[in-house]
Amino acid sequence: AQKITQTQPGMFVQEKEAVTLDCTYDTSDPSYGLFWYKQPSSGEMIFLIYQGSYDQQNATEGRYSLNFQKARKSANLVISASQLGDSAMYFCAMREENTGNQFYFGTGTSLTVIP
Amino acid sequence: SAVISQKPSRDICQRGTSLTIQCQVDSQVTMMFWYRQQPGQSLTLIATANQGSEATYESGFVIDKFPISRPNLTFSTLTVSNMSPEDSSIYLCSASITGLAGNEQFFGPGTRLTVL
């Protein structure tokens, strides 16, 4: 089974609007971490935000916030006040405690910010 | 955090040749990883490279095709051997570092490989 599922291959958002990128995950490990990465056209992977499975509050980092719904196994990324520079691929990833340091990546969502 | 550099940043190679990609981390790390990202796809883990031991390869990847070296705690190389056009991908090096988010993974800028 897929560990990480991103169902939106492509998304468009108007500049200055908010956008939600979906991510669901599958694990039986009670301890895990969820990550979002941004990959611009240059190819580098940029770490954005992290949510631990035991964290009580949703993670926030500037304009990025993670809508963590543990019972539904979802970890959606919310980008507020979108900027043109936010246009990129976005990958959701998970690390399970039991498998050590291996990361599982989703297939990604291509976000385009429209001026 | 960590700063990771890769060389070369891109290359165009002929079928049947080999290319060695270098990855340098600005701090000592125990675990380094090599990923492949084929055009329009997600990242696929090739192997985990631990210093002082043989690399651990994921299903579908073998040492003869992707030999890896890890001579010290800040450096690793990945060789793509006997290349074919199907090897055209971005190859990403990453390092696992314990930070606020537990074991975080930081990535190098990637190497864009085109095989003709």
Residue B1 vs residues A32, B82, B101, B104: alpha-carbon distances, Å: 20, 35, 11, 9
What pLDDT shows up at residue A107? 93
- Whether residue B108 lies within 8 A of chain A, CB to CB, comes out as yes
Q: What is the DSSP string of B35-95?
A: EEE-TT---EEEEEEETTSPPEEPTT--TTTS-EEEEETTEEEEEE-S--GGG-EEEEEEE
Query: In chain A, what residues touch B48 (CB-CB under 8 Å)?
Result: 101-102
Q: Does the pLDDT value for residue B5 go beyond 90?
A: yes
B99 pLDDT tier (thresholds 50, 70, 90): low
Q: What is the mean pLDDT of residues A38-66?
A: 91
Query: In chain B, what residues touch A10 (CB-CB under 8 Å)?
Result: none
Q: Does the pLDDT value for residue B101 go beyond 60?
A: no
Which A residues in the span 35-74 are in contact with B, Cβ-Cβ below 8 Å? 35, 37, 42-47, 50, 52
Average pLDDT, chain B: 91
**A35 contacts A105 by C-beta, under 8 angstroms:** no
B17-73 tens-digit pLDDT: 999 999 999 999 888 999 999 988 889 999 999 888 889 998 899 999 999 999 999
Nearest CA in chain A to B6: A44
- Whether residue B14 lies within 8 A of chain A, CB to CB, comes out as no
Q: What is the mean pLDDT of residues A61-84?
A: 96
